[in-house]
């Protein structure tokens, strides 16, 4: 039986109208947290507390690792501690090491960088040292797709198709890919401007997918021989796992109700029928809701020591969300408006966070100490 996550604070329709006005005026209502009764799902969902965390890492100072990037989208650390960066518009993959940056490969001839599309997510497999391949998610002239490329410091091989036919549009292309603790590749897609597709199990739009490195549906996926892992998503932007192996995903809302969701296999997260956490039957409510996208637009996410660090695009801030043992507590923001739009966040070396800003040709990668 699927457990529905219930909010501690339910947002009434009249309140939603007020929040929509707040979003347009740039106000920033506090995030709302919610949860379930007792854990019954395989993800181990747990009650959510609205009490503030007792202790969070102190974030300081900020160091610029590299600047003058062109709209970076995804960051990946390699085993040799060098850093790879995708650039959405140029289609280039750049390597940052020893204070220098250079292009190691380009998909410019493959990528159609229009609207929100382009070269988006990137991941490396858990056996990268034995099988050095990059996996990338990008918008082609025909669709969104995933390809793999052999990697070396001297350059990249030709892209090899892994999964094609992901719906594309000028907006809502999803794009985040990450390997989970189980070794399978998880893929966040958007509804590609066709909201009803998010509720169609036969469509790959508005979903989280779970696939093998060859692009096949992972064994024991919840919908049989299908890559679909969860549905009812608007535009998934961040993926991460806590210490118990539970999957969390950040998601853009429609001007209101940006979300952090605790993902259950086979779970339906409501879009477009509902957003946020209205307590609707048959849908899983968000664990955290940001009522106004003016303060949020949660993008890339890293989970370290059961704290989710989520970059805010329109919100231009870094959100810290303590997760505990499956419990999402009240988010706390840092760097409000100091560094512009924050697109991706990953774990860096020696207790640091690496953050990609998203400010056209003046984008940077920042290193932040988390003590």
Rounded Cα distance, 103 and 92, in Å: 7
Per-position pLDDT tens, the chain of length 371: 222 222 222 222 223 332 332 333 234 567 888 643 222 223 333 334 444 556 688 898 899 999 989 999 999 999 999 999 999 999 999 999 988 999 999 999 999 999 999 999 999 998 999 999 999 999 999 999 999 999 998 899 999 999 999 999 999 999 999 999 999 999 999 999 999 999 999 999 999 999 999 999 999 999 999 999 999 999 999 999 999 999 999 999 998 999 999 999 999 999 999 999 999 999 999 999 998 877 899 999 999 999 999 999 999 999 999 998 778 999 999 999 999 999 999 999 998 999 999 987 779 999 999 98
Per the structure, the count of domains in the chain is 1
- Report yes or no on 299 lying in a domain: yes
Residue 275 lies in a domain: yes
pLDDT in tens, 12-62: 222 333 233 233 323 456 788 864 322 222 333 333 444 455 668 889 889
d(CA 298, CA 343): 8
Residue 226 CB partners (closer than 8 Å, separation 6+): 201, 217
In this structure, is the dihedral angle defined by the CA atoms of residues 194, 196, 199 and 200, taken in order, positive or negative? negative
Measured distance CA(183)–CA(230) in Å, rounded: 18
Q: Answer whether residue 21 is part of any domain.
A: no
166 domain-assigned: yes
| Cα–chain center distance at 24 | 24
Write out the catalytic residue numbers: 172
Give the residue among 239, 297, 271 at the shortest CA–CA distance from 116: 297
pLDDT for 29 equals 62
What are the tens digits of pLDDT across the range 324-347? 877 899 999 999 999 999 999 999
Q: What is the CA radius of gyration of the chain?
A: 19
Sign of CA dihedral 239, 68, 116, 315: positive
203, 308, 332 from 275: Cα distances, Å: 20, 21, 22
273 inside domain: yes
* Residue found under tokens 């009240």: 330
Q: Using CA atoms, how far apart are residues 116 and 174, in angstroms rounded to an integer?
A: 9
> So what's the pLDDT on residue 1?
28
For the chain, the helix, strand and coil percentages under 3-state DSSP, each to the nearest 5:
5, 40, 50
Find the domain containing 259 and state its range.
6-14+29-370
Which residue, 265, 173, 275, is CA-closest to 220? 265
Cα angle 311, 313, 314; round to 5:
135
- Residue 182 placed within a domain: yes
Distance from the first to the final alpha carbon of the chain: 41
The CATH number of the domain where 36 resides is what? 2.120.10.30
This prediction's pTM: 0.88
CA 359 to mean position of chain CA atoms: 18
What is the structure's pLDDT at 346?
98
Is the separation of the CB atoms in 284 and 34 below 8 Å?
Answer: no
143 within some domain: yes
Q: Is residue 19 part of a domain?
A: no
């Amino acid at each position: 039986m699927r457990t529905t996550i219930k909010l501690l604070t339910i947002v009434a329709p009249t309140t939603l109208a007020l929040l929509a006005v707040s979003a347009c005026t740039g106000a920033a209502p506090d995030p709302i947290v919610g949860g379930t009764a007792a854990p019954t799902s395989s993800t181990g969902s747990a009650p959510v507390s609205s009490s503030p965390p007792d202790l969070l890492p102190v974030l300081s100072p900020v160091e610029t690792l590299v600047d003058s990037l062109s709209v970076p989208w995804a960051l990946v650390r390699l085993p040799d501690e060098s850093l790879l960066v995708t650039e959405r518009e140029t289609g280039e993959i750049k390597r940052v090491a020893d204070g220098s940056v250079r292009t190691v490969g380009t998909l410019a001839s493959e990528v159609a960088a229009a609207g929100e599309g382009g070269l988006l997510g990137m991941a490396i497999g858990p056996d990268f040292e034995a099988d050095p391949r990059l996996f990338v998610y990008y918008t082609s002239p025909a669709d969104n797709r995933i390809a793999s490329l052999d990697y070396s410091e001297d350059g990249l091989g030709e892209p090899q198709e892994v999964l094609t036919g992901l719906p594309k549009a000028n907006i809502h292309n999803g794009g985040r890919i990450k390997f989970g603790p189980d070794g399978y590749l998880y893929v966040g897609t958007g509804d590609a401007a066709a909201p009803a597709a998010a509720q169609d199990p036969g469509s790959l739009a508005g979903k989280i997918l779970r696939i093998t490195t060859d692009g096949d549906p992972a064994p024991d996926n919840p919908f049989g021989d299908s890559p679909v892992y969860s549905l009812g998503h608007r535009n998934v932007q961040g993926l991460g796992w806590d210490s118990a192996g539970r999957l969390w995903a950040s998601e853009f809302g429609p001007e209101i109700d940006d979300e952090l969701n605790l993902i259950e296999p086979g779970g339906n997260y409501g879009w477009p029928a509902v957003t946020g956490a209205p307590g609707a039957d048959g849908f899983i409510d968000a664990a955290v809701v940001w009522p106004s996208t003016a303060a949020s637009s949660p993008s890339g996410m890293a989970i370290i020591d059961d704290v989710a660090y989520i970059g805010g695009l329109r919100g231009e801030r870094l959100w810290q969300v303590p997760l505990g043992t499956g419990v999402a507590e009240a988010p706390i923001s840092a760097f409000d408006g100091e560094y512009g739009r924050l697109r991706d966040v990953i774990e860096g070396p020696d207790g640091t966070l690496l953050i990609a800003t998203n400010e056209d040709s003046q984008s940077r990668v920042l290193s932040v100490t988390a003590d």
